A = this chain, B = another copy of it.
Amino acid sequence: MLVDDLHLLVVRDKDSDKVVEQIFTEYLNSKGHRKTPERYAILDTVYSINGHFDIDSLYSIMKEEGKFSVSRATLYNTITLLIDAQLVIRHQFGNSSQYEKTYDRSIHHHLICTKCGKIIEQKNKQLQKEIEAAEFSKFKVSHYSLYVYGLCEKCIKGNKHNKKQTQ
């Protein structure tokens, strides 16, 4: 039964990859953009990453892991397309942009420690519903980001050795 569950999970992942590819294909078609192997390789890598990543780590992953390697310029171009296609969202916590996939990943909020820079993802269905229910007149909402600033558990306890992360 456990094996079956695992199997289901894997199958589900593959299915979701296909769905995501199809969404991207439809997006590219609708905009008259070309369907290049670079773009699909980037989509594939982006969707293999759980959590945040920046352009530089995406570049490294594609270069070092024997995957289809592309230039930074292409990464910047393609990530813009993925954002426009609503398959990726961008965060700007520190100095560089951080990205994360959106499809098949549940909505969460971000707790940001102002002392050590740690970012904690936290789900809160109740709050999520309240924000989604909010009315903003004359504005067509597509998505939102909630960043909550404060002190993480370690820093509350006054660990003075916590260094601020650059990322």
- The reply to whether the CB of A111 lies closer than 8 angstroms to some CB of chain B is yes
- The answer to the question of A140 belonging to the interface, with a C-beta cut-off of 8 Å to chain B, is yes
Point out the residues of chain B lying under 8 angstroms from A136, CB to CB. 111, 122, 124, 148, 150
Subset of 7 A-B contacts with CB under 8 Å: A124-B134, A127-B130, A127-B134, A139-B150, A141-B148, A141-B149, A142-B151
A146 lies within 8 A of B131 (CB): yes
Chain B contacts of A77 at CB under 8 A? none
Decide if A156 is an interface residue (CB 8 Å cutoff). Answer: yes
**CB pair A148 B144 closer than 8 Å:** yes
Interface size class, chain A: 20 to 34
B150-A138 in contact (CB<8A): no
Within the complex, the shortest CB–CB distance from A15 to chain B, in Å, comes to: 28
In this assembly, does A57 line the interface, its C-beta being within 8 Å of a C-beta of chain B?
no
Q: Would you give the shortest CB distance from A86 to chain B, in whole angstroms?
A: 10
Chain B residues with CB under 8 A of A93: 92
The CA-CA distance from A148 to B146 in the complex, in Å, is 9
Q: Are A150 and B156 in contact (CB under 8 A)?
A: no
Q: Is A147 at the interface (CB under 8 A from chain B)?
A: yes
Q: In the bound complex, do residue B131 and residue A140 qualify as a contact, i.e. CB atoms below 8 Å apart?
A: no
A120 within 8 A of B: yes
* A147 cross-chain contacts in B, Cβ below 8 A: 144-147
